[in-house]
Amino acid sequence: MYRTHTCGELRESHIGQEVTLSGWVHKTRGLGGMTFIDVRDRYGITQLVIDVSKNPDLNEPAQSLGREFVISVTGTVIERESKNKKMSTGDVEILVNKIIILNKSEIPPFTIEDNTDGGDELRMKYRYLDLRRNPLQKALELRHNMGIQVRNFLHNQGFFEIETPYLIKSTPEGARDFVVPSRMNQNQFYALPQSPQTFKQLLMIAGYDRYFQIVKCFRDEDLRADRQPEFTQIDCEMAFVERDDILNMFENLAKHLFKSIKGIDIDYEFPKMQYDDAMTQYGNDKPDIRFEMKFNELTEKVQNKGFVVFDNAEYIGGICAEGCATYTRKELDKLTDFVKRPQIGAQGLIYVKYNEDGTFKSSVDKFFDAEQLKTWAEQMNAKPGDLLLVIAGIKNKTLSALSGLRLEMGKRLGLMDNNKFAPLWVVDFPLLEWDEDSKRFHAMHHPFTSPRPEDMHMFDTDPGKIKANAYDLVINGVEIGGGSIRIHDKDLQAKMFKALGFTKEEAEEQFGFLMNAFKYGAPPHGGVAFGFDRWASLFAGLDSIRDVIAFPKNNSGRDVMIDSPSKIARVQLDELLLNTIEAKK
Amino acid sequence: MYRTHTCGELRESHIGQEVTLSGWVHKTRGLGGMTFIDVRDRYGITQLVIDVSKNPDLNEPAQSLGREFVISVTGTVIERESKNKKMSTGDVEILVNKIIILNKSEIPPFTIEDNTDGGDELRMKYRYLDLRRNPLQKALELRHNMGIQVRNFLHNQGFFEIETPYLIKSTPEGARDFVVPSRMNQNQFYALPQSPQTFKQLLMIAGYDRYFQIVKCFRDEDLRADRQPEFTQIDCEMAFVERDDILNMFENLAKHLFKSIKGIDIDYEFPKMQYDDAMTQYGNDKPDIRFEMKFNELTEKVQNKGFVVFDNAEYIGGICAEGCATYTRKELDKLTDFVKRPQIGAQGLIYVKYNEDGTFKSSVDKFFDAEQLKTWAEQMNAKPGDLLLVIAGIKNKTLSALSGLRLEMGKRLGLMDNNKFAPLWVVDFPLLEWDEDSKRFHAMHHPFTSPRPEDMHMFDTDPGKIKANAYDLVINGVEIGGGSIRIHDKDLQAKMFKALGFTKEEAEEQFGFLMNAFKYGAPPHGGVAFGFDRWASLFAGLDSIRDVIAFPKNNSGRDVMIDSPSKIARVQLDELLLNTIEAKK
């Protein structure tokens, strides 16, 4: 037997017992004739004491131990002289009478500590060592617990988890598919699913009425920070429901997770915000509402006063940064530099200091006097001591730049506390987006999203104005999930494909099976999918999804630990009837 | 609101309430001025009554209803005149005052009944209609419940479910991989996992100590009945354990599933059978021990008595079929034909009838007298009335043929009751199998399986004799799962790769990451993986795994519903730097 207890288990009540522990050597230190060893497993750390004067046989193994050796030790639990209140096992130690070295270890390339000395690349290559660190173990435990809680909640609500296939069909819509050549069906390919969307709709047509799945999805996109080629969704669908049935169900799921995972009671209804309001007030379809700082449009008020930047702008708007009137010139210059970064994209920044003494100082004093500036301040609910920050330009770009500025000010003002959570439903997204390049509409969510019932009539007249019966769950400015009521009528679906520029033949070839299924009694249905990686990293208080994924890929889609992807043998290519074309340099 | 209740919910206690139900029209029939409609959802069927004389407005919609139309109806729950005790809702019906047709249906290509008139191919093409049938809904519900029970059991035992990657690395060992061309890493490929084997071992090295995952796996093999290119494993691994720690843990999981899913208490320890005994007594490494009928070897007893078939045989053995001495000549001829089928592969069948009156009648009366036959009967524990069936030939083939014969006789004698379950651990498999074609050893399980500690010394002297520290869980002759204690020592792993004919370079290239990980403190570990599809189909009492899979593929690996795999666009191939080679006819 390798162990009677884990390394996180022993307490004062165990004093006097003989126990066996197994784990990794975390630290060793000698002190007089004694050797102290910290042995670690995922449950904790326990201190071992070797008294060589009493057990001379232990001298040699004790001396040979290095960091990360795997050992099994037997001994007696004794009270510790100097108790360590920071450790759950800190009241006791084990007086060892037997050590077995189960496996040796070379010196690890970085320390196995909460704050390791290993760089990102090294930690990715030795991921199995990185995963020994406590923050990662806690993150994966949290993720596991979230999975259990999601499943039990939905199970108790009558949902079935039903597995949908991974080897499916490539469709050129949406993001790029990963494809899988078929050997048995020559020159043909499967695709890996970007989501189980069509299958969950088929399950609704099949009468399953409450489906969910925690499932891997795949997108062959160029990777940005926090994107992985494979990611996990909590995918859900319900039949015989209207929008608010779905919002209620999954708001309750979210509340259950807040309570069971974070210990947070949310006793209010999540606010709902129109997409249009989110865009005009926060410049963003996933506003972080942990803090207010909404935009105020000044366009009409400030134009035609002789300031050409304003007069040429399509939109002028600003935010009020509380208590920032004391910002120095240098700080304001830095902020200006910030908004001019290409990621933010503003041309410049106008400031108005509403000083504590009631006076105004602005970068546009030449064009606006104190009285005028005061009307700005009033519109923006500013008090003496506040700072108004204004951007002007093309509407969309300006809203987006203001959004970046707002988040930056939120961060500077400490308004984005990781332990505070502000959930929000964003609703009534546009159904279609006009794409100037291809001169056609794209589906903002996907082609199966239903218009709002009251907008249905605009399909033939003004499709760009139709709002979708779609919704996103946003927490702290992170899009945690989204969904919609789906189209379940074959004629409406055909109309939708037509609006998206599909020919009848294209629609038939790609989605014929779904259109066909709609002919045999499709019920009204809708659903939602949550990004499990993101939700877990939000709850874990981590900035990146990587650390809630055991074996993530790097920004080139590589697993540097197993060195994948890699070349495959010619015989494999032959079986698949494939030739590779040499890459151009 | 689409419904206040489901179609399986209403009872006498609801009489008098106004309710709204939604579902599919299962059946309609007229009777006088009344129309009766059975409306169905996954929870059950409820009878609707339309009294056109009272509600003339309902006449038109009621008349237009066809099978599988989706409707929403409102009405009053009333007591049924002729109660249907077979239906859970059979005490009541709904007197309808409002019908909304939510969607129409064309006439479905087969009936939505327990015993449908649809052939396999048609049902696969319209899988969403097949899935409406009650047996499939029950099978998927059972599978879902098994998943919930597995997860909660393992969670309570301290296991974490940890997701391992799907885009991994191709290794030529084992079955054929599905590969995924990488666009970002030109001319390189990922592979889809055949199992998470190496990743779960890395998780043990990373200190997670109790891991599981219900996970899709992929094998590009030629499909036999009951094989799917993608299948689901319950994949588990533990560190700091010996074999029996694992067997105990997962025997308890199995018992928990028997109890929670099937309502069966198993209060005994699962028997353990040596692989060698399974082969000599049942001719099979997954014996069905719902019934005895073990083999008896007769080789020494019956040779050199002048019967050339016996004298030339390497092995002669038989089984005793209780109470079958009355078999007619015709029945015995049929059995002979059965064993001569290529799937069974015997040259012929010898019978000995031990008649009720104590006399013997055999097909070898020329060579053996009654006294001699009586000694056969004694050895085989036969009683008057029993039938001995004997096969002779090359040992391996004869054992295998006897196994086929035994199962056939078990079926004929009604000894294979689907409601009886006989679990069994088969242990001590050979570590290596000699392959005559390649003149080298193959790993019987996989190259990470540890030898039994007591056999370790034979690695250099007689590797073919080493038994693995491996085990299978067999229920009713079905291999439900298997696993082993793994190698955790880098030198032993190197020895194993050498025994399997890997050069150092090949081992390094394919499994270098694992060998490397073994250098940094790998703990002793082992695990098991269960075939979830098979286990679910066994519990569902189904012969095929297809009906516990929502969207299975056919024997050519095709999804005929979505028509996949399929050709992909030239632009997709270009991005992947691939050309297809035209298939030879």
A322 is a domain residue? yes
Q: Indicate whether A357 and A384 sit together in one domain.
A: yes
Cβ separation B165–A553 shorter than 8 A = yes
Give yes or no for residue B174 having a pLDDT over 80. no
User: How much is the pLDDT for A585?
Assistant: 62
* Helices and strands in chain B, H and E counts: 16, 23
Minimal Cα–Cα distance from A296 to chain B, Å?
39
Residue A383 C-alpha, separation from nearest chain B C-alpha, in angstroms: 48
| Same domain assignment for residues A310 and A382 | yes
> Which pairing describes strands A189-191 and B160-161: parallel, antiparallel, or unpaired?
unpaired
Do B315 and B385 lie in one domain? The reply is: yes
CB contact under 8 A, A160 and B151: no
Is the Cβ of B436 closer than 8 Å to some Cβ of chain A?
no
Mutate to test the interface with B, among A138, A545, A564 (most CBs of B within 10 A): A564
Task: Provide the pLDDT confidence category of residue B583 given band limits of 50, 70 and 90.
Answer: confident
Whether residue A561 and residue B513 make contact (CB cut-off 8 A), yes or no, is: yes
Q: Which of the four pLDDT bands, split at 50, 70 and 90, describes residue A582?
A: confident
Query: Which residues 42-81 on chain A approach chain B with CB closer than 8 angstroms?
Result: 42, 68-70, 72
Note whether A349 and A450 are same-domain residues: no
End position of a domain, from candidates B103, B130, B161: B103
Check B556 against A582: CB less than 8 A apart: no
CB atoms closer than 10 angstroms to residue A494: 17
* pLDDT value of position A567: 93
**Residues in a beta bridge with A47:** A38
B585 in contact with chain A, both atoms CB, cutoff 8 A? no
Q: State whether B307 and B352 are in the same domain.
A: yes
User: What is the rounded distance in angstroms from the CA atom of residue B566 to the CA atom of residue B585?
Assistant: 18
| Mean predicted confidence (pLDDT) in A282-308 | 96
Rounded Cα distance, B401 and A105, in Å: 51
Confidence of residue A224 (pLDDT cuts 50, 70, 90): confident
Average pLDDT, integer, range A351-374: 96
> Cβ of B179 and A182 within 8 Å?
no
**B410 plus B434 within the same structural domain:** no
- Summarize the confidence of residues B115-137 as an average pLDDT: 94
Residue range A69-94: mean pLDDT, rounded? 96
Please give the pLDDT value at position B118. 87
B323-354 per-position pLDDT tens digit: 999 999 999 999 999 999 999 999 999 999 99
Same domain, B31 and B94: yes
Long-range contacts at A259-267 (CB < 8 A, ≥ 24 apart): A260/A145, A260/A149, A261/A142, A261/A145, A261/A146, A261/A149, A261/A539, A262/A421, A262/A539, A264/A421, A266/A421, A266/A423
B576 touches chain A (CB under 8 A): yes
Instruction: Look up the ipTM and state it.
Output: 0.95
Cβ of A564 within 8 Å of Cβ of B190? The answer is: yes
So what's the pLDDT on residue A437?
Answer: 86
Cβ contact A204:A158 at 8 Å: no
Residue B370 within any structural domain of the chain: yes
Residues 112-131 of B with CB under 8 A from A: 126-129, 131
Residues A365 and A437 in one domain: no
Helix (H) or strand (E) holding A403: helix A395-412
Q: Please count the residue pairs, one from chain A and one from chain B, whose beta carbons lie less than 8 angstroms apart.
A: 348
Tokens 């796996």 correspond to what residue?
Answer: B217
Domain housing B461: 429-468+489-522
Give B317's contacts (C-beta < 8 A, 6+ positions apart): B295, B296, B297, B298, B299, B390, B391, B398, B399, B402
Would you say residue A337 lies in a domain?
Answer: yes
- Where residue B387 falls among pLDDT bands split at 50, 70, 90? very high
Does residue A164 belong to the interface with chain B, where contact is any CB pair within 8 Å?
yes
Q: pLDDT tens-digit profile of B292-303?
A: 999 999 999 999
- Kindly state the average pLDDT of the residues A8-36: 95
Instruction: Please state, in angstroms and rounded to a whole number, the distance separating the CA atoms of residues A471 and A447.
Output: 15
Residue of A nearest to B196 (CA): A551
Report CB contact under 8 Å: B550, A162.
Answer: yes
Give me the pLDDT at residue A583, please.
76
Average pLDDT over residues B494-522: 92
Partner-chain contact A160 B141, CB within 8 Å: yes
Task: Check residue B276 and give its pLDDT.
Answer: 97
- A304 and A410 inside one domain: yes
Question: Do both A412 and A458 map to the same domain?
Answer: no
Position B582 scores a pLDDT of 85
Domain count across chain A: 3
pLDDT higher than threshold 90 for residue B172: no
Domain final residue pick, A85, A103, A121:
A103
The answer to whether the Cβ–Cβ distance between B185 and A565 falls below 8 Å is yes
Contacts of B559 in chain A (CB under 8 A): 165, 167-169
In a domain, B317, yes or no: yes
Q: What is the mean pLDDT of residues A261-271?
A: 97
Chain B residues in contact with A126 (beta carbon < 8 A): 520
Residue B227: pLDDT band by 50, 70, 90 thresholds?
confident
**Among B568, B577, B585, which would you mutate to test the A interface (most chain A Cβ atoms within 10 Å of its Cβ)?**
B568
Q: Is residue B394 part of a domain?
A: yes
What's the whole-model pTM score? 0.96
For residue B251, tell me if it sits in a domain.
Answer: no
Q: What is the pLDDT of residues B63-110, one digit of tens each?
A: 999 999 999 999 999 999 999 999 999 999 999 999 999 999 999 999
Domain boundary among A68, A103, A138: A103
Residue B532 lies in a domain: no
Contact list, B241 vs chain A (CB under 8 Å): 2
Interchain proximity B232–A558, CB inside 8 Å: no
A579–B578 C-beta distance less than 8 A? yes
pLDDT at A400: 97
The distance in angstroms from the start CA to the end CA of chain B is 58
Residue numbers in B near A580 (CB within 8 A)? 187, 577-579
pLDDT of B585 over the 70 cut? no
Q: What is the mean pLDDT of chain B?
A: 95
Taking alpha carbons only, the member of B436, B457, B435, B339 closest to residue B391 is B339
CATH of residue B412: 3.30.1360.30
A553 confidence band (pLDDT: 50, 70, 90): very high
Q: What is the pLDDT of residue B383?
A: 97
- Which residues in A lie closer than 8 A to residue B144 (C-beta atoms)? 155, 160-162
Whether the Cβ atoms of residue B205 and residue B517 lie closer than 8 Å to each other: yes
pLDDT at B224 over 80: no
Average pLDDT over chain A reads 95
Residues B364 and B456 both lie in one domain: no
Same domain, A357 and A402: yes
Residue B398: φ, ψ to 5°: -70, -40
Q: What is the mean pLDDT of residues B115-138?
A: 94
Q: Which residues, 6+ apart, have CB-to-CB distance to A391 below 8 Å? A: A316, A317, A318, A339, A346, A347, A348, A349, A350, A398, A401, A402, A405
Domain at A19, CATH number: 2.40.50.140
pLDDT (mean) for B440-466: 91
Residue B555 resides in a domain = no
Pick B103's closest partner by Cβ from A189, A489, A549. Answer: A489
Is A557 in contact with B184 (Cβ distance < 8 A)?
A: yes
pLDDT in tens, A48-67: 999 988 889 998 999 999 99
**Residue B145: is its pLDDT beyond 90?**
yes
